[in-house]
A = this chain, B = another copy of it.
Amino acid sequence: RRQSTVRDLRWNVKISGFAQKTHNPIRAIVDGLTIVPNPEKKMIALSIGDPTTFGNLLPANEILDAMKKVIDDKNFNGYAPSVGFIEAREAVAEYSAHQGVIKEISAKDVILCSGCSCALDLCIAAIANEGQNILIPKPGFSIYRTLAEGFGIECRSYNLIPEQGWEIDLDHLEELIDENTAAIIVTNPSNPCGSVFSKQHILDILEIAERHYVPIIADEIYEHFVFPGNEYFSMASLSKNVPILSCGGTTKRFLVPGWRLGWIIVHDRHGAFSEVRQGLLNLSARILGPNSLVQGALPAILKNTPQKFYDELVETLQNHANIAYSMLKEIPGLTPIMPQGAMYMMVLLDMKNFPEFHDELDFVQSLVAEQSVFCLPGKCFDIDDFIRIVLTVPKEMIIEACERIQEFCENHYRPPKIDEEIDDLATNFIKITDF
């Protein structure tokens, strides 16, 4: 029997570089926290980005009925094509017609994926190589980093400006572009900010992309999730020239995150995406698409969900946002930033008024320990001194949580010294809360 002479002769199974570099920053940060609630107070988790957690927000019956019908029909147990059933792709094309410059989207432009995460995975993997970079928002959702860094793709963060309703610092964005920039990721509406970009701001972003010939990956999973009085524009609807991959899905708007139904809409422009299209097709063969039952139900889900369902959901969230905003803005040391959509609100901590706490991680830990209220610290989204509050929890819980946050802040607030106060007035931070 041959003995290997070249192998190191013991069990020594190494993790790959890809797996090692693939990591979830939120997990790492949260696992590093000490989260021990006050045993006398019931825990309120304002941290969980899953709208279904508390049972107050349920998917429409039309959706559930569509699923049960598909199960009874027994026609959707088999493999779908790796990019999805044609009928489901057609339904997405129709549902997404507003994204087309001239309503030109058809089934061939749609690729179904296992959630929006998988859609983003395919887009990033298809468009960027090791050593290239993608531009991502700061603060922003951590999945882009999770997906890109495994491949050795560099993530460069462009700043969002809280004082301008979290618009992109366009100069900063432009400075980051170089010959290795493979794509700009734009999250609109935003997690964690809840911001919704104006038409003009999107046009400004597109102008930069066009001038530098950088394609856009638009994370539009919160599409249409905007409070009355604001208008949502998809990136692709505002450009004839910039090639855009729009990622979306049923996760948020239909309140079914676990169902893992996402999509990519390929907005090709003048054939710029012909290689990328092939790349996405190639990559879809890796896992063979989302669950076939959900695909089978998708046309009914997208067509039959009543407008009332969408409207009520948005209304509920706006209502929660208003309540939280009005309560938190009265609390010394906190500056909540009113969202225009999505399901989140960012709250700035004036850390100098909380000298006991080293940073917002410290603040968050003490808030749990004393008040059993847990919010994600800004660092989970790559920004300091903020906490993110989730607006999908039941109204009473939001109110209760805000009351406890108030008590906590009052206990720990130290008024600024006079000269600091003048500083504060100079930066005029109050104004930013009124946009």
Contact = CB atoms under 8 A, between A and B. Distances in A.
Interface of A: 1-4, 6-20, 22-24, 27, 50-53, 55, 58-59, 64, 67-68, 71-72, 74, 76-80, 82, 114-115, 117-118, 121, 125-130, 146-147, 150-151, 174, 177-179, 181, 211-215, 241, 243, 255-260, 269-270, 272-273, 275-276, 278-280, 282-283, 285-295
A9 B114 contact: no
Nearest to A179: B6
Nearest to A1: B211
A76 to B, nearest CB: 6
B79 A258 contact: yes
Contact of A275 (B14, B67, B283): B14
A215 B118 CA distance: 28
Identify whether the interface residues of A are mostly helix, strand, loop, or mixed.
loop
A96 to B, nearest CB: 21
18 contacts: A4-B177, A4-B179, A8-B213, A11-B241, A11-B269, A12-B272, A15-B275, A16-B126, A22-B282, A50-B78, A68-B68, A77-B256, A79-B257, A79-B258, A114-B118, A147-B286, A258-B292, A259-B291
Contact of A285 (B22, B50, B212): B22
A291 B288 contact: no
A23 to B, nearest CB: 6
A363 B312 CA distance: 62
Nearest to A151: B18
A20 B59 CA distance: 39
Contacts of A71: 64, 67-68, 71
Contact of A125 (B8, B16, B241, B288): B16
A126 B15 contact: yes
Contacts of A51: 78
Given A18-B125, A18-B129, A71-B67, A13 B272 contact: yes
A268 to B, nearest CB: 9
Given A50-B78, A64-B74, A258-B79, A279 B4 contact: no
B3 A211 contact: yes
B213 A11 contact: yes
B77 A292 contact: no
A74 B332 CA distance: 41
Nearest to A292: B258
A290 B77 contact: no
Given A16-B127, A74-B64, A260 B288 contact: yes
Contacts of A213: 4, 7-12
Contacts of A280: 19
B16 A243 contact: no
